[in-house]
Structure 1
Amino acid sequence: MTASNRVAFVTGAARGLGLAAATRFLADGWRVAMLDILGDTLRAAAKALNRPDAILTLEADVSDPAAVQRAVQQAKDHFGRIDALVNNAGIAIFKPILEVTLEDWQRVMAVNLTGPFLMTQAVAPIMRDQGGGAIVNITSISGLRASTLRVAYGTSKAGLAHLTKQQAAELGEYGIRVNAVAPGPVDTAMALAVHTPEIRADYHDHMPLNRYGLESELANAIFFLSSDQASFVTGQVLCVDGGFDSTGIGLPTLRGERKNS
């Protein structure tokens, strides 16, 4: 197939990493279904991309089974196929563990874990019937390394990493590859809102590349896993994190940033 015939379905596409991923697919000639619960923001973002011939906007909550089925059917009816699904929609509630309510927990799990389950259940039969496809789940370094204030968020992302492996194990026979991207510290709107200068300094202390990532760098990894260049890659969680997950303590000392008095 030519790139112009291929279709990507990106959730959480109104801003941030989802918008960056949609933009990356469009840049390579793909058509894109962009879904988000923030309808006005989504439509404004799509308008700014100035590709009405290649974009379908869909307003829906990924934790709502009926809404997911309707949105996926709309994308199938509009484009005729779905070649890549990017399960990016997610939320974070940062609170001390003893302050997290059951409602907090259930909402984070519904969006971050149930959402990708529902989306994949809806899209996979389409991919199966057309001969295959690729699914990329957006997990997080918080699902691999525990930290404070993330009991719901981190647990949801850890579950999504394992869901990725389960989906890969069972969907491979249909030619459907399933992988995950685990972003580390990235300059997204969420990070800018919650990462204080002290938190940013702590991250830099554990990152060999010594900087936050860019949304475009994450989008490149998502595109790679969705493309034929990753045709023999499935069931993997790719950390795109500047080396954060791989590295222990001691980097500031090695860099000479801290001197013994």
Structure 2
Amino acid sequence: MNNKSKFSNKFSNLESMEDTQKYIKEMHEMSDRNARITNITFAAVGIPLLIIFTLTIIQMFSFTINLAKGSIDDSKPEIVSTSGNTSNDTSAKDSNANTGNTSNTQGTVQVTSEKLNSKLYTYLTDSKNRTSSLNKATSLNKGNSKGLATTFIAQILRDNGYTISDKIINTDSLVKQLEKDGWEKITDYNKLEPGDVCFTVKSTSGAPSHTYIFMGWVQAGKTDNGYIVDSQVSEYKDTYHQRNISVSTPKKDKFDFFMRKKID
């Protein structure tokens, strides 16, 4: 018998020995235990790490959304709604309105050194103030809620300490009076500030078709729409609402210019 055959017989005898089989079995069992330990270790360490990573991603995503939302909401003034009043829904009518009211006041009296814009804005954030001014304007207009836009804006000015005649009942007379009082006339809507008195493009009469008070942009950095105060309650259900500024719509004229009282 050659050496190779002898080695094969010895190796075969070695594999058949009881101790050898026992040893092999123990090695397999040890390997299985090590595999289970490895799986348990991964579950104990890996799963918590995965949970922490997932929560971190969720928090970062939520923070990004809230930050973006905040940048939009910050531009919107806090306004309390008003209801129960009616007004005009055709702006151009106001420029030709004539109710025959009389007055014993003529207006160039200056308000205090406080910037009028700030007073108007603060006043108009309260729905009770807006309702009060609207009711006074309606009364001046003999109870008629149509063609009230200019009368309403003039009444808001009076309610904030600015002396202006209650004969001011259309946009043309309002512009002329404010110019006489030294107000600035500015056509760049990018310079609008809350409290500015705005006028839209000219109607067929040659006067601005509508007037309102600017309260802020709907979205920061965009000039297409803003928050405003005017008398068009019948259409918007509130004296405070959104309106197109730098763009025209099929029913609403766009901004033409605004007027601002110079700081004393």
TM-score, with normalisation over the residues of structure 2?
A: 0.22
State the structure with bigger RCO (CA 8 A, min sep 6), 1 or 2.
2
Larger radius of gyration: 2
